[in-house]
Structure 1
Amino acid sequence: MKQENVSPTQVLVLPFPLQGHINPMLQFAKLLVSRGLDVSLVTFCGNKPMAVQDYSSVKLEPVFDDLGADNILQKSGEDYIQQVRGVVTLRLPQIMAKLGMCKSENPASCLVYDSVVPWALDVAKEHGVYGAEFFTMSCAVSTVFYNVHEGLLKVPIVEPCVSMAGLPLLQARDLPSFVYDIQTYPTFTQFLTNQFLSFKKADWVFFNTFTSLENEVVNWMSTLRPIKTIGPTIPSKYLDKRVEDDSDYGIHLFKPEMDICVNWLNSKQTGSVVYVSFGSLATLG
């Protein structure tokens, strides 16, 4: 509860600048606001204004650099990742100072950082701020990357079937493409396995899932350290309605074409359409 003459708890949320990472962390930020916390979200504006709705009282803290999703397609993966790290390492302390998050001013402040930027925890600790790691992927997928990181799963995969604690027996092609086809995405394979560099050092660890969806692997991951499942992180209208008028994520890196998509869907017979998401980075001819 907010008390007189006491600085409100400040939470700064840092997603990696891709839509599939922003969406769940933004929804989590909205839930924190609904519990009375002051929450700010780091955004990467680049040279183009994002489509931002007045969706909640989550404040935006823009980092003005060309780090939009379209920019990653123009660089090597390694160059883009290093650019994000350089910009965030410079700007994050400035933003935390602006928000009064340093330990002497607000000892309860916390940085919720995307698991793919584990080095953000070091920045938080240098300034006396708590750090919470947020895994945007399911616990099952994250477990695959954990096994690669710890050397429990050797890549490239040579066996037809793979056995990992907490998961059913999987065929090699069931694994994420970053593991199954490692030669195609070597930079991003390392990028994703490095999520676990700060896994055991963070003050809290959140997973974008819910326990009953993947109970066995969540229980197994909990044997490594305490974790919390906080998903599914989707607009509240479609879930529990805890956040009023929350029917959209609110931040779009690409221009939404809602009417075009809905009209096309309405022209099809019920049950005749399969939806497949290729993520922010895929470009299809």
Structure 2
Amino acid sequence: MVSSEGVEVMMVTLALQGHMNPMLKLAKVLVSKGVHVTLATNDVARKRMLDSKISTHFTSDNCPGRICLEFFSDGLSHEFDRDKDTGTFIASLKANGPKNLSNLITHLKANGNQFSCIISSPFITWVPGVATEHGIPCSVLWIQSSTVFSIYYHSIKSPNLFPSLENPNEIVQLPGMLEFTVGDLPTFMLPSSPPHFQLWVAEFISVLDKVKWVLGNSVHELEEEAVNSLSSVKPINPIGPLVSPILLGKEETVEGSVDMWRAQDSCIEWLNKQAPSSVIYISFGSIIMSTENQIHSIATALKNIKRPFLWVVKASEARKHEFPTGFLEEIEREERGLVVSWCPQEKVLMNRALACFVTHCGWNSALETVVAGVPVVAHPEWTDQPTNSKLLVDVFKIGVRMRNCGEEGVNAEEVKRCIMEVVNGPGAMEMKKRAMELKEAAKKALEDGGSSNQNIDKFITEISAKPYSNNV
């Protein structure tokens, strides 16, 4: 183990499930290596965690390090719907966040904290500037794929590499990477994307000059071409997969979770009663709201497939979109399926009953399904999800992509076709075999001598060196 005595870092992220999870998991990795971690986020997280009866302070007697949670205001009330009105949220955060985070750092330093590095989520582009003001070197934890990082980087630094982004079938070829279509690109780049998302991409790439290290929640061996192609322009150091130790076959060494929604553990009891490789798991993450057509199409397909299923439908969706008449009563009567408002996804994915995962392809979910060795039905919606779908289906080769059928979106026949292709089609066995191979490669990366473990040790060694410098 590298020497990390006295090393302390601050991690800054947004109070969003997909942002907090990889940050906390990196925090746990650093703590296991003796680093002290302060995780700072906008203070709406405090209310969400208290509402869910989750501790806002983590310590561990089993590790030489510790994790502490701190909060700063984004300028909005706890009741403001940040998911619904992202434009106002981002503007308020940009206006109020720098001063409030800076005041927090000043307060913590006055109380004896000596930060060797600030690790920021990429979606808070003003954090490197705050780090510079305090003379603290800055790192970014890139929480999406290395491929998406490369696409964003080249879109700003070499826009001539991209064709018109109006035609979704237009071909895109970037240095050292596989061929994409415009429809495979992150939606933030497209003309149809809200301006504040396009501005965020430009701001993020421009602020990289103030960032000394880019850490990536990925595995070198999974995205070797993308990682290698960045080495001469802006290196990215994969340190993933940042998933819970239980998914890697290990025990948790640091207590604490920051789940913003209460998981329903009853689904694990139900899964344990199902036959191996029999259950279809459907979940579209914490942000995307399913449409009425999606709800009805999936329900109809599941009814016709007649296989056991576990379906996560957020409570807000269930109220807004009624299920087909008699659907819930029928599955309860037949004890063939389970609909829940949330679930402990990693425990679900590692359960022997799982046959496939119907997913929106958020990067956290993509990595979790790779580490679990579970094939996928990809149904991307926005942001990096189309690119992740391309990776899962065409690069990793562990699933199929569900296609929309006209303006109404996906239909029941397409849902059924994709699920059956993954669980019982002519290529199903090869997908499962490939999934198990990637599972072993991902786990090996975090072991002693593995590529991700080496990158983490190198990072700790470098932030331990003094004097510190923000020069990149």
Say yes or no: does 1:173 pair with 2:183: yes
Give the drift of 1:37.
1.6
How far is 1:96 from its partner?
1.5
Distance 1:200 1:154 in 2: 26
RMSD of Structure 2 on Structure 1 (CA): 3.1
Residue type at the aligned position of 1:32: L
Q: Which residues of 2 match residues 62-73 of structure 1 at below 5 A?
A: 62-64=71-73, 66=76, 71-73=81-83
Corresponding residue number in structure 1 for 2:444: none
**Preserved CA contact (<8 Å) 1:14 1:111:** yes
Aligned to 2:205: 196
Counterpart contact for 1:69–1:281, Cα < 8 Å:
no
CA distance in 2, matches of 1:258, 1:194: 41
Question: Do the aligned residues in 2 keep the contact of 1:209 with 1:231 (CA within 8 Å)?
Answer: yes
The 8 Å contact of residues 207 and 227 in structure 1, kept in 2 or not, is answered as yes
Q: Deviations over 1:129-151 (max 9, x none)?
A: 11011110010122222222222
Q: 1:124 aligns with which of 121, 131, 149?
A: 131
1:87-116 CA distances to partner (integer Å, 9 max, x unpaired)? Answer: 3212211221222289x984x621101112
Q: TM-score, normalization: structure 2?
A: 0.52
Q: Tell me the SS of whatever aligns to 1:213.
A: coil
Offset at residue 64 of structure 1 (A)? 4.6
Structure 1 gap segments, 5+ residues each? none
Q: Which residue of 1 aligns with 2:262?
A: 255
Kindly indicate which of the two structures has a greater share of residues assigned to helix: 2
Find out whether 1:147 has 2:154 as its counterpart.
Answer: yes
CA distance, structure 2, for counterparts of residue 33 and residue 191 of structure 1: 31
Match of 2:23 in 1: 25
Which of 226, 236, 239 lines up with 1:227 in the alignment? 236
1:60 corresponding residue in structure 2? 69
Farther off after superposition, 150-159 or 217-226: 150-159
Which residue in 2 is equivalent to 1:35?
Answer: 33
Aligned counterparts of 1:13 and 1:255: Cα–Cα separation in 2: 24
Aligned to 1:135: 142
Compute the TM-score of the two structures, normalised by the length of structure 1.
0.82
Task: Describe the superposition over 1:232-263 as per-residue Cα deviations: whole angstroms up to 9, x where unpaired.
Answer: 101122227385266xx71022232332x435
1:13 is aligned to 11
Contact 2:129 2:210 in 1 (8 A): no
Equivalent residues of 2:121, 2:143 under 8 A apart = yes
Partner amino acid, structure 2, of 1:41: L
Percentage of pairs with the same residue: 26
CA separation of 1:224 and 1:275: change in aligned 2, threshold 3 A: farther
Distance 1:171 1:256 in 2: 37
Give me the whole-angstrom Cα distance separating, in 1, the residues matched to 2:24 and 2:198. 25
CA distance in 2, matches of 1:40, 1:191: 25
1:9 to 1:39, Cα distance in 2 relative to 1, 3 A = same
Q: Which residue of 2 aligns with 1:93?
A: 102
* SS of aligned partner of 1:96: helix
Higher relative contact order (CA 8 A, sep 6+): 1
- 2:54 matches 1:48: no
Structure 2 distance, partners of 1:55, 1:204, is 27
Give the structure 2 partner of residue 206 of structure 1: 215
Q: 1:162 aligns with which of 169, 172, 191?
A: 172
Question: What stretches of structure 2 of length at least 5 have no aligned partner?
Answer: 61-65, 291-320, 322-472
CA offset at residue 176 of structure 1? 2.2
- CA shift, 1:216, in A, is 0.5
Measure the CA separation in 2 of the matches of 1:165 and 1:121: 28
**Count, aligned residues:** 273
Question: Quick one: which amino acid aligns to residue 223 of structure 2?
Answer: E
Change in Cα spacing, 1:221 to 1:258, as seen in structure 2 (3 Å) is farther
**Cα separation, partners in 2 of 1:98 and 1:37, compared to 1, 3 Å:** farther
Separation (CA, whole Å) in 1 of partners of 2:94 and 2:72 = 12
Looking at structure 2, the residues matched to 174 and 241 of structure 1 have their Cα atoms a distance apart, in angstroms, of 35
Per-residue deviation at 1:49?
3.6
Using the TM superposition, give the Cα deviation of residue 70 of structure 1 relative to its aligned residue in structure 2, in angstroms. Answer: 7.1
Note the C-alpha offset of 1:2.
6.9
Contact 1:167 1:216 in 2 (8 A): yes
Please give the alpha-carbon distance, in whole angstroms, between the structure 2 residues aligned to 1:97 and 1:222.
35
Distance 2:273 2:26 in 1: 34
Q: Residue 280 of structure 2: SS of its match in structure 1?
A: coil
For 1:9 and 1:171, how far apart are their aligned partners in 2?
A: 44
Shift of 1:220: 0.7
Q: Distance in 2 between matches of 1:195 and 1:67?
A: 26
1:141 and 1:90 mapped to 2: Cα distance?
Answer: 30
Give the Cα–Cα distance (whole angstroms) in 2 for the partners of residues 132 and 44 of structure 1.
Answer: 19
Larger Rg: 2
Amino acid at match of 2:38: S
Cα separation, 2, equivalents of 1:101 and 1:82: 29
Contact 2:163 2:170 (8 Å CA) reproduced: no
1:192 CA drift (Å)? 3.6
Deviations 1:56-79 (A, max 9, x none): 53100022554779722342x321
Q: 1:84 — aligned with what? A: 93
